[in-house]
Amino acid sequence: MREWEIAFLRKLRDASADGVTQSSIPKRCHAIVNALRACGAADYLPSAAGRGIRLRIKSETSFKRFVDSRCPAGLDIDPSEIQSHADAIVHLADAKAFNQPIAEGVFIRATKPNIIIQSVDTGDTIPVSQLTASTGCAAIQLSDKRSWTFQGSVAVVENADAFWLHERVIPFVDLVIFASGRMSGRLLDWFASC
């Protein structure tokens, strides 16, 4: 669940028997309102004052089940506790609720002999040419704790087939990096350092 969805459910829970006015429900919450109504957790009812319609919790048990299934940590989770996609899955049942990846994997290939990539942090080397010959490619992790350096020509290939057969398309390049779609700032920073 996203933060705004949790905030809406918290507002509905805390509104007690009076509920929340239909006009105060953000448009982006309509899907969650429909899901609440479909499972019998909430429904629209006329206001006690006779003016307007309010969304009220219809069944506390159904509402709790709804929340538990979508937000295992409950509605009072502190967003600062979510430090990774894994945390978002455990606490919010939604990996996309965390939008800052802690690391990313990058596929690399080299068909020229003796091409290596070196860890800036440990000095360890990865024999990219050997791994490409035996497994098809190598993979590295880019993160705040792990960075890499490379000396030579680099090409970014966005088409998977061209990546797997780069030696036919761009045989003069030392290292080929697969990047599909929008590239992260972390990946762009690494390209700039190569």
Tell me: the pLDDT tens digits for 156-174?
999 999 999 999 999 999 9
Domain boundary among 72, 97, 122: 97
User: Can you give the pLDDT at residue 129?
Assistant: 96
Q: Which residues contact 166 (CB under 8 A, 6 or more apart)?
A: 109, 111, 155, 157, 173, 176
Which of 57, 78, 97 is the last residue in one of the domains?
A: 97
Q: Where are the beta strands (DSSP E) in the chain?
A: 20-21, 42-46, 53-57, 103-109, 116-119, 125-127, 138-143, 148-149, 154-157, 175-178
* Claim to verify: residue 108 and residue 153 sit in the same structural domain: yes
Q: Quote the pLDDT of residue 96.
A: 65
Average pLDDT on 35-62 reads 88
**What is the domain count for the chain?**
2
Query: Which residue among 71, 97, 123 closes a domain?
Result: 97
Q: 151: domain range?
A: 103-193
Span 90-111, pLDDT tens digits: 766 666 666 666 778 899 999 9
pLDDT for 100: 66
Question: Do 93 and 116 fall into the same domain?
Answer: no
To which residue do tokens 């006015």 refer?
21
H helix or E strand, kind and range, residue 10 = helix 3-14
